Each structure stands twice: as structure tokens, then as C-alpha cells.
Amino acid sequence: VKKLHKRHAREGRPVARAAVLGAGTMGGGIAFTSALRGVPVRMKDIAQPALDLGLAEADKQLARQVKSGRLQPEKAQAVRASITAQLDEAGFGELDCVIEAIVENLEVKRRVLAALEGSTRADTVIASNTSSLRIDDIAQPLARPENFVGMHFFNPVPVMPLVEVIRGSRTSPQAVSTAVAYAAAMGKVPIVVQDGPGFLVNRILTPYVNAFVQLVADGADFEQVDRAMEAFGWPMGPAYLQDVVGMDVGAHVFDVIAAGYPERIRPVERNAIRALVATGRFGQKTGGGFYDYQ
Ligand code: CAA
Ligand code: NAD
């Protein structure tokens, strides 16, 4: 693996300056992780409260590092200063890589990424943190699809090692190498996977979550299911996991994967996750989902 990473580091372009689009659960975590590893990040969102949340997440993560003795307070201040927040794309012409982490909606991603190409250099690698949408589908309106690649991080970003790097049919080998090398520089374990709805991990995770909602529809108590899966040895049960991921995100991912593999996934139409989405209980980010976090 180390050899492979070295090859990608040789063949990719080094990322010295980066940006994330979307300061939410994932964008905030990616920005923090990149800055911690020495790559300054511009964080862009469409609303100031969202940027404030992203910066608050960085502060929380830095406090966690300082408290555990992993980071000196002066270093923490320097890391914090290397994360800047903005509502426009000023300065995007100096970036080596932009990671998009906005809503899991094909039309919105296409529109935002096509516009982004106008603010970035011809050689800037643009990566999407999409959970499930095909890279080729998102790339369809792009002028420079060779620079576009998937970089799928996992939640919570600071502690989850895996990054799926997704090669679209028009992605250049150099863009793949840049994404692999940048993920490795962030301390992650990148793997290159083929394009297709859900890539690798979410093709496994989605049927599992569907089985969970089926169990609840059949009358199981979600807390008991969580306790059972924890005792089974998994780090968290499926209900708590949905609270961490975000019910809205989970529902979007489910729809994309169910549409991608209709012969393999039979959706449970009236399910607990959709009921929570309808009431605005999206999970930890809104203060409540299956559980309360107030
Ligand atoms: N942010 C940063 N660090 C965190 C954290 C967070 N939100 N939560 C926990 N940690 C850190 C703790 O500080 C601790 O670090 P140290 O040991 O260095 O002190 C370490 O993680 C372990 O924490 P805990 O002992 O408190 O809790 P834990 O043993 O349950 O581990 C966990 C936490 C690593 C998150 C673990 O519960 C886990 O692996 N959960 C599964 C998460 C998962 O499956 N994520 C994937 C979601 S799906 C997805 O992301 C894809 C998609 O497209 C939707
Ligand atoms: P989120 O709802 O927490 O955050 C999304 C952010 O994007 C919000 O702050 C929103 O204001 C912002 N945004 C929306 N439109 C924008 C635009 N045009 N420009 C800039 N910012 C914009 O969502 P999230 O959970 O961080 O998910 C983001 C992406 O990451 C999705 O594609 C999702 O599928 C993927 N993902 C999520 C998880 C997870 O566990 N939550 C894991 C891996 C991948």
C-alpha cells in the first residue's frame, strides 16, 4: 500500500492550498483534517450560520486535540488560522484542489460544480464527497471532466480512516493520483474504486440500514436493536449511526442506491427514517433523530 501511495504521490500534483464547498457535517470535518495536516483550507457555504457551524466544529475538534495532549495550544491556533470562511469564491484561482460536500442532489451538484469551474484554474482538481451519485453523472455538464474525481470520506471525518477515491470514465490518472496523495497526506487510507451508485462501502451499508428499518417496521424497538448490535461488537447500532450520518443524507443515499439496483433492494416505503425526515428530526445536527441530543 505504501508503494502504491508513493507512486500516486509522484504522479499526482501536490495539494498546497484547498477549499471545501459546504461547511456541514462533512465539509467542516474535511476542512479541519486538511488544516491539521498542514494544508490550509478555504471553507465556502451559502449562508453565514452554516459557516459559523463549520468553524465551531473546527474549534471543537481542536479543543479535543489539545485536551488529549496531541496538539500544543500554539499549534492549534496556527491550524485554526489556516481555516478561513467565505460566502463567495474569492481566491479560488490559487487552489490545487476543491472538495465539494454540499447536498446529495444530482442537479444541485451539477449546477454548483459547473459554476465552480469558472472560478478555478484549468489544472485544479475538483473532488466530490458524494456518498452515492455516479461521478460520470455529476461530471456530465463539466467542461473539464478529466479534473473531476470522487473523494468519499466517512463520518466522523477526523477519526474514520477510509477515503474512497472514485475514478470516473473521463477522470485523468493524474487527478486520481492527486486525490489519493492528498487523502494520504491527511492521514487517511485511500482506496481507488470504480464508479457506480454507492461505490463500495455504501453498497454494503445501505442493505444493512434497509434491514434495520424493516425490523422496526416489523415491530422491533430501535434502542434494543442498537444495544444488540453493540453487544455483537459493532461500534454503534444502526439507529445511532443514522443520527450521526443525518436522516436527510441517509434518505438521499438510499434513494440513489435503490434506484441504481432495483433488482437487489426492496425499499420499505413507510419507514422510521422517512418519518423522521418528515418531522425535521435529521439526527445529531438538528438536536434530535432517533435519540435526543439537547
Ligand atoms: N470527532 C472526532 N473525534 C471523535 C469523534 C468525533 N465526532 N467521536 C469520537 N472521536 C474520537 C475520540 O476522541 C476518541 O479518540 P482517542 O481515542 O484518540 O481519545 C476515539 O474517537 C474513540 O472515541 P470513543 O471512545 O468516545 O467512542 P467509540 O469507541 O465509539 O469510537 C467512533 C467513536 C470511532 C466514531 C466509533 O463509534 C465508530 O467507528 N462508529 C462508526 C462510525 C461509522 O460507521 N461511520 C460511517 C458512517 S457512513 C458514512 O460516513 C458514509 C456515507 O456516505 C453516509
Ligand atoms: P450537511 O447537510 O451537514 O451540510 C451541507 C452543507 O452544504 C450545508 O452547510 C449547506 O448550507 C451547504 N450548501 C448547500 N448548497 C451549497 C452551495 N451551493 N455552496 C456551498 N455550500 C452549500 O451535509 P453533509 O452530511 O455534510 O453531506 C454533504 C455531502 O457529503 C453529501 O453529498 C453527502 O452525501 C456526503 N456524505 C455525507 C456523509 C454523512 O455521514 N453525513 C458521509 C459521507 C459523505
Express each pLDDT in 158-210 by its tens digit: 999 999 999 999 999 999 999 999 999 999 999 999 999 999 999 999 999 99
The protein residue whose alpha carbon is closest to atom 49 in ligand 1 is 154
From residue 275, alpha-carbon distances to 251, 267, 269, 278 in Å are 11, 14, 10, 5
Pair 27, 50: CB distance under 8 Å: no
From residue 214, alpha-carbon distances to 162, 217, 226, 270 in Å are 28, 5, 14, 9
Averaged confidence pLDDT in the chain: 96
Domain 2-194 architecture? 3-Layer(aba) Sandwich (3.40)
Domains 2-194 and 201-285 share a fold: no
Give the pLDDT confidence of 197-234 residue by residue, as tens digits: 999 999 999 999 999 999 999 999 999 999 999 999 99
Q: What is the distance in A from the centroid of ligand 2 to the CA of 246?
A: 10
Question: What's the pTM value of the predicted model, to 2 decimals?
Answer: 0.97
Pair 1, 184: CB distance under 8 Å: no
pLDDT at 111: 98
The verdict on the CB of residue 101 being under 6 Å from ligand 2 is yes
Pair 134, 127: CB distance under 8 Å: no
Domain ranges of the chain: 2-194, 201-285
Which of 217, 236, 232 is closest to 291 using CA atoms? 236
> What DSSP state is assigned to residue 13?
P
State the Cα angle at 54 between 41 and 156, rounded to 5°.
Answer: 90
Per-residue confidence band for 244, with pLDDT thresholds at 50, 70 and 90: very high
pLDDT at 269: 84
**Domain 201-285 belongs to what topology?**
N-(1-d-carboxylethyl)-l-norvaline Dehydrogenase; domain 2 (1.10.1040)
The protein residue whose alpha carbon is closest to atom 32 in ligand 1 is 235
Say if residue 3's pLDDT is above 80.
Answer: no
In Å, the largest CA–CA distance within the chain is: 55
Does residue 5 carry a catalytic annotation? Answer: no
